[in-house]
Structure 1
Amino acid sequence: MTAKCIMVLGTTSGAGKSWLTTALCRYYARQGLKVAPFKAQNMSNNARVVASENGQGEIGSAQYFQALAANAVPDVRMNPLLLKPERDTHSQVVLMGQVNEELSAMPWRGRSLKVWPQIAAALDALRAANDVVVIEGAGSPAEINLAASDVVNMRVAQHGDAACLLVTDIDRGGAFAHLYGTWALLPEDQRGLIKGFVLNKFRGDATLLAPAPQMLQELTGIPTVATLPMWWQHGLPEEDGVFDDRSVVKGAVNLTVAVVAYPRISNLDEFQPLKNIPGLRLQWVRSPSELAGLTSSDWIILPGSKHTSGDLAWLRSQGLDAAIARHAEQGGAVLGVCGGLQMLGEALIDPHGIDGNAPGLGLLPLVTVFAQDKTVRHTSTRFASNIPGRWAALADAPVGGYEIHHGQTQQHAAMAAAGDVAHAVLPDGLGWCNAKGNVLGLYLHGLFEDAAVLQALFGAQLGGTVPTLETVFDGLADYIAAHFSEGVLQDLLVETS
């Protein structure tokens, strides 16, 4: 078996590559084909724990969801190289699911010779085991400053002899120039791999596009194979976990969940299920004024961070620390996940230079020590049976998720001796809440992707109306089936360069 490769390239970041790749995975899987996703290199702090030769490893969340859409078991070959930004000029490099310190210390352009053999081998292995491999590019294939060291766009396309779609965000303006310019900057031997142009996020009357698509085809020889209308509510997490504040809340707003968006946020995609709950408004918060309208019934979430001490310093510089403390004092719910949990404690201690020392927010009597080794694992467990206060609905609820963290957190010994003890809500140091029961900290990612947890917290609101991932994937496949030109998606399976 040697799979046909279909690749989604974009004129820019944010053009729609990730969701279109996910849609294609489900579309072809529904044809009875064995399908796998692939992205050679992803840059994202949204990661999932999946199977690897070494037990468990990390891949980008987008490829995790694409694998689920393809009805495939996610594994590290689907995203062999993951770059996790830690600072503006430094990223942690994860190769085949494992952190690679040598590559992390290497200049960007110097990595390609080192990583390409494993990237090519991963793609070859997926091709050998599947009928179709749907590949996602990164950024734009016309970034000519990076072409010599490319390991994610046209080098991959050529290696897999992929039939490529080039997608552009027409809502940004300049779509036809983006398409033509991208095609024109490609070497001639690569242009032949582009089989169709896709206009994404179109608003209005599609007939008004004429004669531009035909003129573009006359210039390039490539047809425009789909015009995809703007679709805000498809239900799939965005590539970087960024949800759109313009989204319409389903029903009257009776609960606001404010997520603090610090500079090095990570794993924000795990909050997407909240966006789908009727009556719940999910919003970004970057200043105290955005918290001013919250009531004691609303939530504040401190999400994961790729640099906890740095984001904690930013949070203080904005005055958000005082605003969060006021909300907690008034009985409002505060949830910290992973890095957010670490921030809620008394102190961050970093003996190995992993993240940095810092005082915490002091909302939980905990202390975090950063360990040399990184914890990366799936976890299935159960909440304690005696959770107090705002989080009592979670009592005895089963929960599954994943851990990705260097920090190890425990009770602050001196505070515990003085009688200030955090209430353990999960075993093995995975979660605590305060005595009042309104501040909760967890190491477990994926809380809101767990059906039992959603039912416990929002059972009265769910009413069977919240889409499951399966309905989201099927909706994406239906959408592209309705808007691509007839026969195009099947023809891609037989296209050759």
Structure 2
Amino acid sequence: MTASIQLPRPVPGQRPALCVMVLGTSSGAGKSWVATALCAWYRAQGYRVAPFKAQNMSNNARVVATPDGKWGEIGTAQYLQALAAGVVPDVRMNPLLLKPEADTRSQVVLLGQVDEALSQLPWRGRSLRVWPQIAQALDALRAENDVVVIEGAGSPAEINLHSSDVVNMRVARHCGAHCLLVSDIDRGGAFAHLYGTWALLPADEQALIQGFVLNKFRGDAALLAPAPQMLQERTGVPTVACIPMQFQHGLPEEDGVFDDRSSAGAGQAVHTTIAIVAYPRISNLDEFQPLLQVPGVRVVWARTPAQLAGADWVILPGSKATAADLAWMRSQGLDAAVVAHAAAGKRVLGICGGLQMLGEALIDLHGVDGNAAGLGLLPVTTLFAQEKTVQRTEVRLPALPAPWQALEGMAASVYEIHHGRTAPHTAMQAAGQTVVEAVPGLLWHSPDGVVLGCYWHGLFENQAVLQALWGTAAPSLETVFARMAEGVGRWFQAVE
């Protein structure tokens, strides 16, 4: 390898900004992670940086302020990329967010706000409607920064979608982006993926691909030769980086659940096993990433009752389709397993959709989510409203019973994204089945504290919460970003 890093350098103060775009040969290639690392690296070089992804399809979302003083949603990846860049997250950084509700239906969030009209349009029918807002958002970021790090989606070679593309090469053409194409070499076939993706692009788009990146490499880098040279002979594109596998990089996975290899405590003695029910429409799973950084804590993604066995905690996370995910839990026998876990006096925590599942019933009068009977662990009911609650807030945790007592009085930064409005079941209350509403409309628990539910996302991302529960904290995001920036300086060099 040579000593010179193979990344373009912007001219400070020159506008519009340089655009560096991270494309992938497939979903899961590592686009989000590489884009985050580049944001951190450009920031470390002293440049003004902003992330951008025209369209993200994910149920992992964060709450940010909008220009008109409201709260809006963007994908978690762009939220973290903004933090890596050292800037305040902005809805322009992810102007279009698609939140899957079923295999053929998504809720469309445009510039932070749900757009019901767009949600009803077919996939290919949206392009003309959304492109002006996407282009305007990108142009605004380019006018304010030295460099914009752009993330693509899926693969730019999805030729069935090329004519309606608003996230890959249409964006690259619009801003003349310096494009890097990333492939997951751990899966095998990386050189074929890189060549095939490049070959399927028209000539003007091929010309925008300035470098190939091999990601998730394990083994002897000397064994790569002569493939990078042969690939460059066929395409004219150099391989500019070989990034080692990063099992414990400290950021949530964008496209799926993490595994034990991602845990900083892997191989250590386990004192707490937390089973998180992984239903099909799980949302905001990224908020549990800090649990992997706590020594002695083991996280299990549970899809069967057997995977709940032996767990100290069960967490019911958020859901984009609460009624449907409840039906899935029943089909797997997980409903009875969760009830049995609580009956044994072991902790059950429900967050957002998980809270709604803990109650007696889900009532949907507007076709938002669906009607369903709950698990009956808390005497509360949830009514789905047409309007979505989206907000960030600072809270101070109230007095809590013994299992959670260590959190009492603690300040925490949290966020809410939900249609549900939850309240005590009045008839059950009158009959003596009580629930403690510790924070009106937001947090409830059983009298003994075994079962607790809240609408607050992000509790475990507060270092003080981890410290109170387990006596230790996770590495800060700034530590993670600094490590990533340092890695870019080593990995983005010419590969021979």
Verify same fold: TM over 0.5.
Answer: yes
Q: CA deviation at 1:192?
A: 1.1
Which residue is 2:417 aligned to?
Answer: 404
Q: Structure 1 residue 34 and structure 2 residue 42: aligned?
A: no
Aligned partner of residue 171 in structure 1, secondary structure: helix
Which residue is 1:443 aligned to?
Answer: 455
User: What is the RMSD computed on CA atoms of the aligned residues?
Assistant: 1.2
Q: Distance in 2 between matches of 1:355 and 1:404?
A: 14
Q: Distance in 1 between matches of 2:428 and 2:465?
A: 31
Q: Structure 1 residue 148 and structure 2 residue 163: aligned?
A: yes
Q: Deviations over 1:343-377 (max 9, x none)?
A: 00011111111111111001111110001111011
| One-letter amino acid of the structure 2 residue matched with residue 201 of structure 1 | K
Q: Which of the residues 377, 382, 390 maps onto 2:403? A: 390
Q: Distance in 2 between matches of 1:398 and 1:429?
A: 18
Structure 1 residues 273 and 241: CA distance shift in structure 2, 3 A: farther
Bigger shift: residues 390-399 or 162-171: 390-399
Structure 1 residues 171 and 241: CA distance shift in structure 2, 3 A: closer
Aligned partner of residue 168 in structure 1, secondary structure: strand
Q: How does 1:445-484 map to 2 (within 5 A)?
A: 445-459=457-471, 462=472, 466-484=474-492
Q: Distance in 2 between matches of 1:340 and 1:416?
A: 21
Q: Distance in 2 between matches of 1:160 and 1:283?
A: 43
| One-letter amino acid of the structure 2 residue matched with residue 365 of structure 1 | P
Q: Distance in 1 between matches of 2:297 and 2:403?
A: 17
Aligned partner of residue 79 in structure 2, secondary structure: helix
2:404, 2:449 within 8 Å by CA — same for their partners in 1? yes
Q: Distance in 2 between matches of 1:396 and 1:438?
A: 19
Q: Distance in 2 between matches of 1:473 and 1:240?
A: 20
Q: Deviations over 1:142-161 (max 9, x none)?
A: 00000000000000011111
Q: CA deviation at 1:243?
A: 1.1
2:95, 2:112 within 8 Å by CA — same for their partners in 1? yes
Q: Which of the residues 163, 177, 199 maps onto 1:162? A: 177
2:305, 2:337 within 8 Å by CA — same for their partners in 1? yes
Aligned partner of residue 141 in structure 1, secondary structure: coil
Q: Structure 1 residue 22 and structure 2 residue 30: aligned?
A: no
Q: CA deviation at 1:178?
A: 0.3
| One-letter amino acid of the structure 2 residue matched with residue 313 of structure 1 | A
1:382, 1:396 within 8 Å by CA — same for their partners in 2? yes
1:47, 1:61 within 8 Å by CA — same for their partners in 2? yes
Which residue is 2:384 aligned to?
Answer: 370
Q: Distance in 1 between matches of 2:139 and 2:105?
A: 30
| One-letter amino acid of the structure 1 residue matched with residue 191 of structure 2 | F
| One-letter amino acid of the structure 2 residue matched with residue 443 of structure 1 | Y
Q: Which of the residues 314, 321, 345 maps onto 2:335? A: 321
TM-score, length-normalised on structure 1? 0.95
Bigger shift: residues 446-455 or 183-192: 446-455
Q: Distance in 1 between matches of 2:40 and 2:262?
A: 25
Q: How does 1:129-148 map to 2 (within 5 A)?
A: 129-148=144-163
2:239, 2:494 within 8 Å by CA — same for their partners in 1? no
Which residue is 1:268 aligned to?
Answer: 285
2:241, 2:494 within 8 Å by CA — same for their partners in 1? no
Q: Deviations over 1:121-174 (max 9, x none)?
A: 000000000011000000000000000000000000111111010000011111
Q: Structure 1 residue 186 and structure 2 residue 194: aligned?
A: no
Q: Which of the residues 366, 380, 394 maps onto 1:380? A: 394
Q: Distance in 1 between matches of 2:407 and 2:313?
A: 15
1:240, 1:268 within 8 Å by CA — same for their partners in 2? no
Bigger shift: residues 12-21 or 237-246: 237-246
| One-letter amino acid of the structure 2 residue matched with residue 482 of structure 1 | R
Percentage identity across paired residues of the two chains: 69
Which residue is 2:300 aligned to?
Answer: 283
Which residue is 1:125 aligned to?
Answer: 140
Aligned partner of residue 246 in structure 1, secondary structure: helix
Bigger shift: residues 101-110 or 233-242: 233-242
2:62, 2:74 within 8 Å by CA — same for their partners in 1? yes
Which residue is 1:311 aligned to?
Answer: 325
| One-letter amino acid of the structure 2 residue matched with residue 374 of structure 1 | K
Q: Distance in 2 between matches of 1:452 and 1:240?
A: 28
| One-letter amino acid of the structure 2 residue matched with residue 82 of structure 1 | L
| One-letter amino acid of the structure 1 residue matched with residue 113 of structure 2 | Q
Which residue is 2:442 aligned to?
Answer: 430
1:18, 1:136 within 8 Å by CA — same for their partners in 2? yes
Which residue is 1:69 aligned to?
Answer: 84
Q: Deviations over 1:27-86 (max 9, x none)?
A: 000111110000000000000010113411000000000000000100100000000000
| One-letter amino acid of the structure 2 residue matched with residue 18 of structure 1 | S
Which residue is 1:493 aligned to?
Answer: none
| One-letter amino acid of the structure 2 residue matched with residue 64 of structure 1 | Y
Q: CA deviation at 1:276?
A: 0.5
TM-score, length-normalised on structure 2? 0.95
Q: CA deviation at 1:476?
A: 1.2
Q: Deviations over 1:413-441 (max 9, x none)?
A: 0111122221123x231111101111110
Q: Which of the residues 211, 215, 226 maps onto 2:226? A: 211
Structure 1 residues 191 and 170: CA distance shift in structure 2, 3 A: same
Q: Distance in 2 between matches of 1:367 and 1:10?
A: 44
Which residue is 1:116 aligned to?
Answer: 131
2:273, 2:310 within 8 Å by CA — same for their partners in 1? no
2:50, 2:141 within 8 Å by CA — same for their partners in 1? yes
Structure 1 residue runs without a partner (length 5+): 488-497
Which residue is 1:344 aligned to?
Answer: 358
Q: Distance in 2 between matches of 1:428 and 1:194?
A: 54
| One-letter amino acid of the structure 1 residue matched with residue 231 of structure 2 | L
Q: Distance in 1 between matches of 2:256 and 2:383?
A: 27
Which residue is 2:7 aligned to?
Answer: none
2:61, 2:75 within 8 Å by CA — same for their partners in 1? yes
